[in-house]
Amino acid sequence: MKLPLVSSLFLLAALNLHAQTPAPAPAPALTLKASTDHPDALYKTGETATFTIEAQQDGKPLPEGKVVCVLSKDGLQPQPPQTLNIKDGKATIIGKLDEPGFLLLRATSDKATTMAGAGYDPLLLKPSMPVPDDFEAFWNAQKAALAQVPAKATLTPVTTGAPKGVEAFDVQIDCLGKPVSGYFGKPVNAKAKSLPAILHVHGAGVRSSNLGSVSWALQEGGMLSMDINAHGLPNGKPKEFYDALAAGELKDYRIEGVQDREKVYFKGMFLRLIRAIDFLTSQPEWDGKTLIVYGSSQGGFQAFAAAGLDARVSYICAGVPAGCDHTGSQANRIAGWPKIVPNGADGKPNPAALQASRYFDNVNFAARAKCQGAVVTVGFIDTTCPPTSVYAAYNALTIPKAIHNDVLAGHTNTPAASKFMQAAALKHVRDSKAR
């Protein structure tokens, strides 16, 4: 149907008006930032900590507003919320702890949230429960069973993606249950008994081993470098392969078998660590003395386990480690991921899971570690692997050690933390060569 000329003009004008009307301007971005009055965020027990919350609207101090603040004992026992008035972009709140641990602030406005943590004598945090009397007997039995399985290794050369000067292989090693599955690299033409070794282990999730890790083979004059995935899965499959496992068979692996120490999922993971170490130490190029286990989060969990279970480990680097202080509830403290001790209907920890967890706790692995040293990183606002739990495990180490505090970091490896771990690993290699 043909519109009258006048109607057509009105329609055209309306369309032009709509086209020329600017889109609504986005609301000015609100950001919150919190910090403590001690730059290192460390305090003595009973000392008052002052938290300052800074609020900016569109990059400028917020003239006035409100923020709701909650203080807690690292996520436990939250205090009643306090509503603070923001004036000229700032508000302050004070708090303290009368015991070793971490005071966590969570500050929230309508459109933004921030956190800050204050550590109270964290080096005084003690184990929440003692090491089980039969801890060593349990793990010796597991290792004896593993030793009955021949360490048959199948190496398939990898020709794409490996750095120049490195021989790289997809390696599959027979183990109890699922195999060790990883990528292994060594310098071309390496001499016998000349190289230190490093084992890279993975954080939580379901994925292939990382071929990029074999680039460590070129560090410090040459190394044996191996990266294994956490679940003994084939490497290099399409993303959909790992996604399907993560949504299916391995969806809840972190809590599988938690009421029976023989069925806890991490038992198999840790036996694969030992089998990977069997492989590395059997290589003719290994120097016979230097073996680093390096990982973060669940990888940090594995690093602690390796140190506690295998005397061939000479050094560990554990970033924001999981697996710390599973029994923290027994000392009225928070536990770290994977939080394998669920509460029952009565609100109390499941007693069977509580007992089983003790055989898989970094606090207890740390007490058994005999390696030459360890470095650990921790985020003061990490809610996945809370700093209270990390320090409980760190303090149980009786070997030379160092910790990197990331005061304003959550569950991540900051550039500074990564540099700290890498530098420590390479220094250990140099020191080992000098001996």
| pLDDT (tens place) for every residue of the chain, 435 residues total | 444 433 333 333 333 333 344 555 555 688 999 999 999 999 999 999 999 999 999 889 999 999 999 999 999 999 999 999 999 999 999 999 999 999 999 999 988 999 999 999 999 999 999 999 999 999 999 999 999 999 999 999 998 888 899 999 999 999 999 999 999 999 999 999 999 999 999 999 999 999 999 999 999 999 999 999 999 999 999 999 999 999 999 999 999 999 999 999 999 999 999 999 999 999 999 999 999 999 999 999 999 999 999 999 999 999 999 999 999 999 999 999 999 999 988 889 999 999 999 999 999 999 999 999 999 999 999 999 999 999 999 999 999 999 999 999 999 999 999 999 999 999 999 999 988
Q: Which two tokens stand for residue 151?
A: 């360490």
Is 3.30.420.40 the CATH number for 30-124? no
Predicted TM-score (pTM) of this structure: 0.92
With tokens 């679940």, the residue in question is 231
Task: Tell me the C-alpha distance between 34 and 117, whole Å.
Answer: 9
Cis peptide before 415 (omega within 30 of 0): no
Interior/surface letters 200-227, b for 16+ CB within 10 angstroms, e for the rest: bbbbbebbbbbbebbbbbbbbebbbbbb
Q: Domain map of the chain by residue range?
A: 30-124, 135-434
Contacts of 184 (CB under 8 A, 6+ apart): 155, 168, 169, 171, 214, 224, 225, 226, 279
Is 3.30.300.30 the CATH number for 135-434? no
Interior/surface letters 267-285, b for 16+ CB within 10 angstroms, e for the rest: bbbbbbbbbbbbbbeebeb
- Of 376, 418, 426, 424, nearest to 397 by C-alpha is 376
- Beta-sheet strands, E only, within 88-157: 90-95, 101-108, 113-120, 153-157
Express each pLDDT in 332-384 by its tens digit: 999 999 999 999 888 899 999 999 999 999 999 999 999 999 999 999 999 99
Instruction: Give the alpha-carbon dihedral of 313, 318, 323, 326, to 10 degrees.
Output: 100
Secondary structure letter of residue 72 according to DSSP: E
Q: How many helices (H) and strands (E) does the chain have?
A: 9, 18
Express each pLDDT in 207-259 by its tens digit: 999 999 999 999 999 999 999 999 999 999 999 999 999 999 999 999 999 99
